[in-house]
Amino acid sequence: MRILFLSHYFPPEVNAPANRTIEHCTAWVRLGHEVHVVTCVPSHPRGIAFQGYKPGWYVRERVDGIEVHRVWSLLAANTGMVRRTLNYLSFVPSAVWRALLLGRFDIIVATSPQFFCALAGYLSGAIKRTPWVFELRDLWPDSVAAVGAVRRGVLLRALERLELRMYRHARLVVCVTRSFMLNLERRGINREKLAFVPNGIDVGMCQAGDPEAARRRLGIGTDEVLVSYVGTVGMAHGLRTILDAAHELSHREPRIRFLIVGDGAELSALRRHAGDGGLSNVHFTGLVPRAAAKDYLDASDICLVTLKRSPVFRTVLPSKLFEAMAAGKPVILGVEGEAREVLEASGGGIAVEPENQAQLCDAIARLAAAPDLRLRLGTAGREFVAREFNRTTWARTYLSLLAAACGRAA
């Protein structure tokens, strides 16, 4: 098959959509298919082009056998609603125009969020008369309202109508959680066009990094317990609760240290909060390459996966949950719903209520005092994700779905 994939994010960016996209597309190339990705100049989350790139109308490169087409968009940091929305909207005409210039494809896939990337897939499919697939990784715009970025009103209702129209127009809607499928079915989307392809892990990427070097960089001793959050530092993630827990445990358990790896809209505010509170037991790395993030993950004794308390977030399966378990780390999960069900099925950690500081502190203290329990939970989690959420296995499933959607043999 000749596959066109539209994604706002792509490596060297290190967020979940970039990782998911390249891992699936690389697997499809290895299986003998021609894959083209239309994306932006890498700049997330600061809105500044990465080293080796510069803003421009178009550049083409080849990455792991994938033909990557980087088109113009208005660069913007992951803060501030107006300029970020313009960044998202500007991708639409650039992506659609490039799709038209690239000739015929058997299938078009567009991943959302960001939401307007799916709109580019919708328009490209309609103009080129090519079946298109809506890859749904977040219930946007519901999730935007959940974190208070936009108030519910006329604009949100208009976006929701557009969202439903795109679901109905797509040949297939690939959902990363079963909860998304139930949500769409309740809203009138035909169950026959919904498919489940979750986030997962590339087993080949789970080899050990350099944890000793990472701990040395942080000044963490072998007798100290490192508790880490590795991922986007965004409005949805409820990271203020982690800092409040760090403040409480600085008195109860001084040998526990905290690490926040990543960048995002909340990083500056969290750093100020930590500084104002005199939290000497909290380290921030900012944005780091994927390999360095792997080192910090391997250096950790406990991993945190948190979101704010909201009905919308009961439907999600954070990719960082799988990455932590794949690294063999016990997870403390502050997310309700489907994510909690997966963690409990894995036996890979402890679930607490979202934004519940007392429960979070107790869970951290319990694991910090029990290295044997940490080992047992970490081993169970690693075995579970390697079995149930292996990216290679799910990439083959995904490919079969795409082949069926366009009437071709996988």
Q: Quick check: 121 and 90 in contact, CB under 8 A? A: no
Residue ranges, the chain, pLDDT below 70: 141-153, 204-209, 409-410
User: How many whole angstroms separate alpha carbon 5 and alpha carbon 132?
Assistant: 10
pLDDT of residue 146: 52
pLDDT of residue 266: 92
Q: For 106, list phi and psi in degrees, rounded to 5.
A: -75, -35
Instruction: Map out the domains of the chain with their CATH numbers.
Output: 2-200+390-406 (3.40.50.2000), 203-388 (3.40.50.2000)
- Model pLDDT for residues 1-13, shown as the tens digit of each residue: 999 999 999 999 9
pLDDT of residue 339: 95
pLDDT of residue 283: 95
* Burial (CB count <10 Å: 0-12, 13-18, 19+), residue 159: middle
pLDDT of residue 138: 86
DSSP classification of residue 203: G
User: How many whole angstroms separate alpha carbon 110 and alpha carbon 125?
Assistant: 10
pLDDT of residue 60: 97
pLDDT of residue 150: 56
